[in-house]
Amino acid sequence: MDEQRRAKNREKKSSVNWWKWAFLGLVLVLILFVVQLMGSFQSVSINEPNNNEVTHTDQEMVFTATANREDTEQFINTFLSTVLNEEENNLSVELKDQLLVHGQLEVFQLNVPFTISFDPYILENGNVQLRASAVELGTFSLPVGATMSLVADQFNVPDFIAIDSEEEMIVINLNEFNTEQNISVEMVRIDLPEDEIQMNLYIHEDEIIDNFKDIKLDPSQEKN
């Protein structure tokens, strides 16, 4: 009987020790995770907001376009899929009452999902300012600026986008963005809760002439 009791005690102690070391290992992993994050909490400033006013000529025609959140979200994500490389193609935007940026960051050699919530504002020159209000990194709620620093460090940021993690702000310099068709964009209204998005598209008349000059109308048939 005594031998059986001692065997059970040894088995019980072995089980307790296993759980104790597993718990300590988990705590160590969390500490290393936090240490790496803290080491990345340096303010980052990439590119600069462009406050210049855009001067349009008489040869430019302006078209006002109105879109809803769904169409705008689809346009933004299609654009992101074309400009981001394969490793960065996990970045996406969701438009609700706020603008949500979803993606994955590499932290401690693990891909950790993140979501940053932004409130959009239109600047006087038609550029867009995004002010971050909240962030989720996996199951952690981290400082907004820290997560923006990680994003700026791990993604190739286009030249027309300025990031200031200390100010927790992103500026989209639309006055620096031009398409191959020489179309410039100026935001007029962004009201996500009301599902109203409005922008001005400026197109030079030469672009319209070049694109439509080869179109020929069918001659009207002569009546007998």
> pLDDT tens for residues 32-77?
655 555 555 567 788 899 998 887 777 788 899 999 999 999 999 9
- Residue 23 in domain: no
pLDDT of residue 88: 59
SS3 state of residue 6: helix
**E strand segments, the chain:** 45-46, 60-67, 92-95, 99-107, 110-122, 128-137, 161-164, 169-172, 183-191, 196-204
Tokens for 223, please give them. 């009546």
Residue with the bigger pLDDT between 95 and 144: it is 95
Domain that holds residue 164: 41-50+57-212
pLDDT of 186 over the 60 cut? yes
Whether residue 137 contacts residue 129, with contact meaning beta carbons closer than 8 Å, is answered with: no
When divided into structural domains, the chain yields a total of: 1
**What pLDDT is stored for residue 142 in this prediction?**
72
The winner for highest mean pLDDT among 73-77, 88-92, 219-223 is 73-77
In a domain, 7, yes or no: no
Strands laid side by side in the 110-122 sheet: 45-46, 161-164, 169-172, 128-137, 110-122, 99-107, 92-95
Predicted TM-score (pTM) of the model is 0.74
The whole-angstrom distance between residue 107's C-alpha and the CA centroid of its chain comes to 18
In the block, tokens 């299609």 appear at 78
Q: How far is CA 173 from CA 62, 65, 74, 83, 139, in A?
A: 19, 19, 20, 16, 33
pLDDT in tens, 200-219: 988 877 666 666 666 665 65
- Residue 144 within a domain: yes
Query: Mean per-residue pLDDT for 125-154?
Result: 86
Any domain includes 29: no
Say whether pLDDT at 31 is over 70.
no
Q: Is there a domain that residue 174 lies in?
A: yes
Can you give the length of the chain in residues?
A: 224
Query: Is residue 14 a part of any domain in this protein?
Result: no
